[in-house]
Amino acid sequence: MKKADVVIIGGSAAGPTAGISCRRRYPDKSVILIRKEEQVLVPCGIPYVFGTVGSPEKNLIPDALLDKNGIELLKGEAVGVDREKKVVSLADGEAVGYDKLVLATGSQPLELPIPGLDKENVFSVKKDVSYLNQMLDTMNQVKKVVIIGGGFIGVEFADECRKHRDCQDCSVTIVEILPRCLKLALDDEFCQEAQDVLVERGIKVLTDKKVTSITGDGKVSGVKLSDGQELPADMVIVGVGARPDSRLAETAGLEIGPTGGIRVDRHMRALSDENVFACGDCAEKVSFFSGKPSRLMLASIATGEARVAGANLYGVCYSNPGAVGVFCTIVGERAFGCAGLGETTARKEGYNVVVGQSVGPDRHPGSMPGMANVNLKLVFCREKGLLLGGGASGGSSIGELMNLIGACIQHSVTAYDMALFQMGTHPALTASPIAYHMVNAAEMAVKAMK
Amino acid sequence: MKKADVVIIGGSAAGPTAGISCRRRYPDKSVILIRKEEQVLVPCGIPYVFGTVGSPEKNLIPDALLDKNGIELLKGEAVGVDREKKVVSLADGEAVGYDKLVLATGSQPLELPIPGLDKENVFSVKKDVSYLNQMLDTMNQVKKVVIIGGGFIGVEFADECRKHRDCQDCSVTIVEILPRCLKLALDDEFCQEAQDVLVERGIKVLTDKKVTSITGDGKVSGVKLSDGQELPADMVIVGVGARPDSRLAETAGLEIGPTGGIRVDRHMRALSDENVFACGDCAEKVSFFSGKPSRLMLASIATGEARVAGANLYGVCYSNPGAVGVFCTIVGERAFGCAGLGETTARKEGYNVVVGQSVGPDRHPGSMPGMANVNLKLVFCREKGLLLGGGASGGSSIGELMNLIGACIQHSVTAYDMALFQMGTHPALTASPIAYHMVNAAEMAVKAMK
């Protein structure tokens, strides 16, 4: 029987990161990573396979990453864990012994409770190369794409469909059950702006619409809504979220949390077995802010948890502060981002909220090429002025700008501190030092707090 | 006699920012801003006037900024301050009374102690629209430009000369006295990389060369070096740094510090007069790290100080933590940045330094359009793992990435904290969550600290 000090199950964002984190700290420990996929997709890159990137094969996490870090790769499906004997059993009958086990089994797409999902040309979003190639082939042949779900995945798929070589004369429709796309992540004004960009790009957006069934005779022919409307469709993509894939943990008798993830402590150790750790989408999460169960699932949270898990395997040194939630995306040329709590969420959570806003160019002077207008909103708690979150739209600098906001949240920075932030600025790279967005928005909040 | 609660002298980055900061907190206080310039240039935009932006008129700080914030603009040159009577006298004989005075008189270009600076077509870098227009006119007519000084200004001027419509067949030469361009700001490997880009762009770079005189009969014809070489030149731009313009303060009997700036306390109040504040290039600075006098002069530091000064005018509430120093620039398509102490500076200061490095694409997968390879180096103090600084080269995300590093410095973040940073990532906007540069570099430092 094969054996390693550390066995990791799962090869997407969390698994390899946990392995690397472990090997960096415990170079004498052997690590085997078991995964069922022949090749592993960059998870956030999946929508981009359909337009910008062009094929799943160009969107892979290279296995060299494992090799370079001294992690042995074992391809196979883990089907059981004997926690007493500390052995993982695989579908092909093989078994692998472990001293410490890391579960990084990810998530499964949520399925809609409606009839017709089994019709031909109805797809969900799976991290599977051959499945994605089948979607691509289908996309080359169809004319009417309906996307169910207007979250990040749905919006990104829709935008990429417009870029896809063979789909530029397709109709693309998003159907969203909430009043706006991206509503779970962004405040209304940013959702509306993103929707406006989608519409400008020729995408039809239907909000406040519930899908009741998918119709068709074998092949899909339409999507029925609760208001009686039927949208014609020859391809349907369902992107309505995901749930933790904790099936293996459940069969192994590990405790499962209220959102369906494997229950772990702040060290990412399973509550019910000190030799088992879990990280990534399969692990139960709590909010950085309230400590309540959180349904956030992001590759960036997954890798953060994986680093904690990997480092703690042979001696606790790190603690997971909970999920902050830093997102960004781009629709057409317009980027959108959020970090921590948006205004709506913060109010719903009961915070006494003060908001600071700053709108203006991200270059200076504004005539510098590549200039985009940034709209940044920061959300603070009135009592101490503590930063709770922020949302923004703008150009490509939004990605790292949200990370800057994220860092300030994670280190308990207040509006007063932020107003004094010493930034670096440059005409071709940032807003001006007089009107640097983060500082400006913080100043406006300080003013409003008085 | 005119009178206001607050009189500010200086209209560049610091003056207006101090005014805005004051008006936001003390809306009942009247503010007059006195400046001698008809129009004010965006200071960091000056090199870009010569290529990308095209004219000084397109690089102005709009006066509407003052108006919008209820600040009265008075054009005139302040030539004296009677601190007993609390009156500023202007060159045209006018006088303005104040309750609180803010000096934001900026800096003057350093002059080289060499003969020939008075020859025609020899320029320094002045924040003056008509002077810059004269430089532009000259640039349209010349063929051999020599730039003395390879700091940020010199390098940016050289790069912009290459972009200038009428100067594309000019020869452009930088002469730098130190072994490398940008050496005061960046570690050697980044200096070298920037120099390589300059050379690729057809710019001649001479380092370790001292200029001894500027030759010519009326008009400049050459630049003589101490090794005997004479470089032919029909235009010379001298960009060798600046010194605080504290002349007005000196005549008013205010205390001047060791670097030539107006001495202030951490509240930006002049040591010798409780009703006078100073901020920006004219104010004496101390290092954020050591508290020693600092010669850093940046628009971003100036605006930070101005915010402190403006807020403290009628009640101390903010303290200036000292100059951190966050810079960025772009040469051709390659951006360079640094925040805090580079490795060389940190070692020179006596820190027991640990370095973490991360090299890789700023998009994921790497085939995403607009991808640039980022090289990020973080510098930590071994004892506690405290972040001291960082340097980077890469694409346009370097601007905000350096601000993220800057925020972590300002909030005493350690390598251990940074390794757990929950970033947001997106294929089109950032590096991958598995290899996010800041986290990766922090992890490498943690590994090296063991």
Q: Which residues in chain B touch residue A324, judged by CB atoms under 8 angstroms apart?
A: 422
Closest residue in A to B51 (Cα–Cα): A368
Angle at A409 between CA A407 and CA A415, to 5 degrees: 110
Contact A236, A252 (CB under 8 A): no
Whole-number Å distance between alpha carbons of A230 and A215: 9
The residue-averaged pLDDT of A217-224 equals: 97
Interface confidence, given as ipTM, is 0.95
Q: Which residues in chain B touch residue A398, judged by CB atoms under 8 angstroms apart?
A: 429
Confidence at A312, pLDDT banded by 50, 70, 90: very high
Q: Which residues in chain A touch residue B59, judged by CB atoms under 8 angstroms apart?
A: 365, 367
Whole-number Å distance between alpha carbons of B154 and A265: 55
pLDDT over threshold 90, residue A168: no
Each residue's pLDDT tens digit, B383-399: 899 999 999 999 999 99
Q: A160-164, A371-375, B76-80, B425-429: which range is least confident on average?
A: A160-164
Tell me how many residue pairs between chain A and chain B have CB atoms under 8 A apart: 293
Confidence at A417, pLDDT banded by 50, 70, 90: very high
3-state secondary structure A134-163: HHHHHHCCCCEEEEECCCHHHHHHHHHHHH
Put simply, the answer to whether A420 touches B308 (Cβ < 8 Å) is: yes
pLDDT over threshold 80, residue B149: yes
> What is the distance of C-alpha A332 from the center of its chain?
19
Q: Which residues in chain B touch residue A433, judged by CB atoms under 8 angstroms apart?
A: 13, 17, 44, 298-300, 302-303
The residue-averaged pLDDT of B27-54 equals: 94
Q: A432-441, B92-101, B165-174, B367-376: which range is least confident on average?
A: B165-174
Confidence at B168, pLDDT banded by 50, 70, 90: confident
Shortest CA gap B450–chain A (Å): 8
pLDDT over threshold 90, residue A169: no
Pick the residue of A163, A297, A374, A434 with the most B CBs within 10 A to test the interface with B by mutation.
Answer: A434
Put simply, the answer to whether B430 touches A328 (Cβ < 8 Å) is: yes
Put simply, the answer to whether A301 touches B422 (Cβ < 8 Å) is: yes
Q: Which residues in chain B touch residue A321, judged by CB atoms under 8 angstroms apart?
A: 420, 422
Count the Cβ atoms, other than its own, within 10 Å of residue A376: 27
Put simply, the answer to whether A417 touches B411 (Cβ < 8 Å) is: yes
- CATH 3.30.70.260 assigned to domain A2-50+59-108+243-312? The reply is no
Each residue's pLDDT tens digit, B113-122: 999 999 999 9
What is the CATH T-level fold of the domain B326-449, as seen in this structure? Enolase-like; domain 1 (3.30.390)
Closest residue in B to A309 (Cα–Cα): B420
pLDDT over threshold 80, residue B164: no
Shortest CA gap A117–chain B (Å): 29
Put simply, the answer to whether A400 touches B396 (Cβ < 8 Å) is: no
Q: Do domains A111-240 and A337-449 have the same CATH topology?
A: no
Q: Which residues in chain A touch residue B16, judged by CB atoms under 8 angstroms apart?
A: 434
Percent share of chain B, pLDDT over 90: 96
The residue-averaged pLDDT of A358-363 equals: 96
A56, A58, A61, A65 alpha-carbon torsion, rounded to 10°:
150
Each residue's pLDDT tens digit, B310-331: 999 999 999 999 999 999 999 9
Pick the residue of A55, A268, A297, A426 with the most B CBs within 10 A to test the interface with B by mutation.
Answer: A426
Q: Between B328, B364, B434, which is nearest A17 by CB?
A: B434
Each residue's pLDDT tens digit, B402-446: 999 999 999 999 999 999 999 999 999 999 999 999 999 999 999
Put simply, the answer to whether A370 touches B396 (Cβ < 8 Å) is: yes
Q: What is the pLDDT of residue A163?
A: 84
Q: What is the pLDDT of residue A162?
A: 87
Confidence at A404, pLDDT banded by 50, 70, 90: very high
The residue-averaged pLDDT of A5-13 equals: 97
pLDDT over threshold 90, residue B247: yes
Q: What is the pLDDT of residue B134?
A: 96
Confidence at A326, pLDDT banded by 50, 70, 90: very high
The residue-averaged pLDDT of A260-278 equals: 97
The residue-averaged pLDDT of A183-206 equals: 97
Q: What is the pLDDT of residue A164?
A: 77
Closest residue in B to A13 (Cα–Cα): B434
Q: Which residues in chain A touch residue B397, judged by CB atoms under 8 angstroms apart?
A: 396-397, 399-400
Put simply, the answer to whether A399 touches B436 (Cβ < 8 Å) is: no
Confidence at A269, pLDDT banded by 50, 70, 90: very high
Put simply, the answer to whether A307 touches B446 (Cβ < 8 Å) is: no
Q: Which residues in chain A touch residue B69, judged by CB atoms under 8 angstroms apart?
A: none
Put simply, the answer to whether A404 touches B407 (Cβ < 8 Å) is: yes
Of the candidate CATH numbers 3.40.50.12160, 3.50.50.60, 3.30.420.40, 3.30.70.100, the domain formed by B2-108+243-312 belongs to 3.50.50.60
Put simply, the answer to whether A424 touches B413 (Cβ < 8 Å) is: no
Non-local CB neighbours of A309 within 8 Å, separated by 6+ positions: A14, A18, A21, A102, A267, A268, A269, A277, A278, A279
Shortest CA gap A169–chain B (Å): 23
The residue-averaged pLDDT of B104-121 equals: 96
Put simply, the answer to whether A443 touches B307 (Cβ < 8 Å) is: yes
Of the candidate CATH numbers 3.30.390.30, 3.30.1330.60, 3.60.21.10, 3.40.50.11540, the domain formed by A337-449 belongs to 3.30.390.30
Percent share of chain A, pLDDT over 70: 99
Shortest CA gap A430–chain B (Å): 6
Each residue's pLDDT tens digit, A69-87: 999 999 999 999 999 999 9
The residue-averaged pLDDT of A109-113 equals: 93
Pick the residue of B157, B403, B437, B438 with the most A CBs within 10 A to test the interface with A by mutation.
Answer: B403
- CATH class of this structure's domain A111-240: alpha beta
Q: For residue A325, what are the CA distances in angstroms to A176, A271, A298, A337, B441?
A: 22, 24, 8, 10, 22
Which two three-digit tokens encode residue B70? Answer: 């209820």
Give the relative orientation of helices A437-449 and B14-25 as an angle to the nearest 10 degrees. 20
* Domains of chain B by residue range: 2-108+243-312, 111-240, 326-449
Put simply, the answer to whether B300 touches A58 (Cβ < 8 Å) is: no
Put simply, the answer to whether B400 touches A318 (Cβ < 8 Å) is: no
Q: What is the pLDDT of residue A420?
A: 92
Q: Between A61, A330, A367, which is nearest B53 by CB?
A: A367
Q: A51-60, A307-316, B258-267, B336-345: which range is least confident on average?
A: A51-60
The residue-averaged pLDDT of B45-55 equals: 92
3-state secondary structure chain A: CEEEEEEEECCCCHHHHHHHHHHHHCCCCCEEEEECCCCCECHHHHHHHHCCCCCHHHCECCCHHHHHCCEEEEECCEEEEECCCCEEEECCCCEEEEEEEEECCCEEECCCCCCCCCCECEEECCCCHHHHHHHHHHHCCCCEEEEECCCHHHHHHHHHHHHCHHHCCCEEEEECCCCCCCCCCCCHHHHHHHHHHHHHCCEEEECCCCEEEEECCCECCEEEECCCCEEECCEEEECCCEEECCHHHHHCCCCECCCCCECECCCCEECCCCCEEECHHHECEEECCCCCEECCCCHHHHHHHHHHHHHHCCCCCCCCCCECCEEEEEECCEEEEEEECCHHHHHHCCCCEEEEEEEEECCCCCCCCCCCEEEEEEEEECCCCEEEEEEEEECCCHHHHHHHHHHHHHCCCEHHHHHCCCCCCCCCCCCCCCCCHHHHHHHHHHHHHC
Q: Which residues in chain B touch residue A44, judged by CB atoms under 8 angstroms apart?
A: 364, 425-427, 432-433
pLDDT over threshold 80, residue B64: yes
